[in-house]
Structure 1
Amino acid sequence: MSAASKWTPDMLQSPADRATHLEQRRAQLLPIVDDLRRLAREVQAEVKEYDSIEGDLPGQARLRAWYVSNPLFKAADDVEQAIADLISFNGRFQKSYEDLPVKRETKRQRKALAKGKAKQAIESPPADTAPGPPEKSHFGDVFDGLRRGA
């Protein structure tokens, strides 16, 4: 894929194309993350060296340095999170559109097989449990109602 062409949704249909897309984006974004972190550290070190401004409380200059440099660190974290989100997209796409139909078909086949076995069991019960009159116990008819309701 040339640098001038853009990715489209139909290009992300295969696992190989999604992996290529992820690697291209990772190659683009990781240098940006590294540059932002380097710049944030340098800015933080620079502003920590500034003298206190008249009227500062103790530690206020250090707090101001953190306040100023923190957005650069956050920007680096956000770009790094974008890479993690692309990885998440790949996993979700595979799970929802490639694995799910296979999983559902397997479940459908298992269900049909179980249904076929149940139907076969109803049509031809095993020989050792042939239906017949229930055994009479030596207690007579006293417990017949209890057995039926249980």
Structure 2
Amino acid sequence: MSAEKWTPDHLQSAENRSLHLEQRRMQLLPVVDDLRRLAREMAAVVKEIDGIEGDIPGQAWMRARHVTKPLFKAADDIEQAIGDLGAFNTRYQRSYEELPQKRAEKRRRKALAKSGQPEAIESAPAGSGSPKKDEFEDVFDGLRQGA
């Protein structure tokens, strides 16, 4: 897979998406490390540069930070891209692999409930259904007394 380009067709299987994510991670993490190293070294170099004539106190430090900030941001952005690739994998799995199965199960339970089969109630998720009336009566009792 490394010799050919990735296409949307490749990313439709879970194995290929995992492989793609791992390949990108292996490609990008060294770039992140190198950019961070370079940014730290550059920050150290520009902080050692004496102030320029006419600087106000702290201006040399602010200039050094201003100059190196894009290098640190580039490293952060690439690291964020790795996270975004992982988010794509998760979203694809939930939306296109798990959702059809959940909907099919819901249709099956609904069909069983319509036919009056007790299996539909047993297979329904816990907490579904309406609350009993006496569960809420005590909440409103105190309101009647003060009104």
Structure 2 length-normalised TM: 0.78
When Rg is computed on C-alpha atoms for both structures, the one with the higher figure is 1
Alpha-carbon distance in structure 2 between the residues aligned to 1:73 and 1:115 = 60
Alpha-carbon distance in structure 1 between the residues aligned to 2:23 and 2:91 = 19
Identical aligned pairs, as a percentage? Answer: 69
Aligned length: 117
The secondary structure found in structure 1 opposite 2:69 is helix
Question: Which residue of the partner structure matches residue 66 of structure 1?
Answer: 65
Question: Which residue of the partner structure matches residue 53 of structure 2?
Answer: 54
The secondary structure found in structure 2 opposite 1:53 is coil
Q: Deviations over 1:112-133 (max 9, x none)?
A: 1111118xxxxxxxxxxxxxxx
Alpha-carbon distance in structure 2 between the residues aligned to 1:113 and 1:88 = 36
Alpha-carbon distance in structure 2 between the residues aligned to 1:104 and 1:81 = 33
The secondary structure found in structure 1 opposite 2:116 is helix
Question: Which residue of the partner structure matches residue 77 of structure 2?
Answer: 78
Task: Compute the displacement of 1:13 (Å).
Answer: 1.1
Alpha-carbon distance in structure 1 between the residues aligned to 2:57 and 2:110 = 72
Does 1 or 2 have the higher relative contact order (CA < 8 Å, sep 6+)? 1
Runs of 4+ in 1 over 3 A off after TM superposition: none
Which sections of structure 2, spanning at least 5 residues, go unmatched?
Answer: 118-147
Structure 1 length-normalised TM: 0.76
Give the alignment's Cα RMSD to 1 decimal.
Answer: 0.9
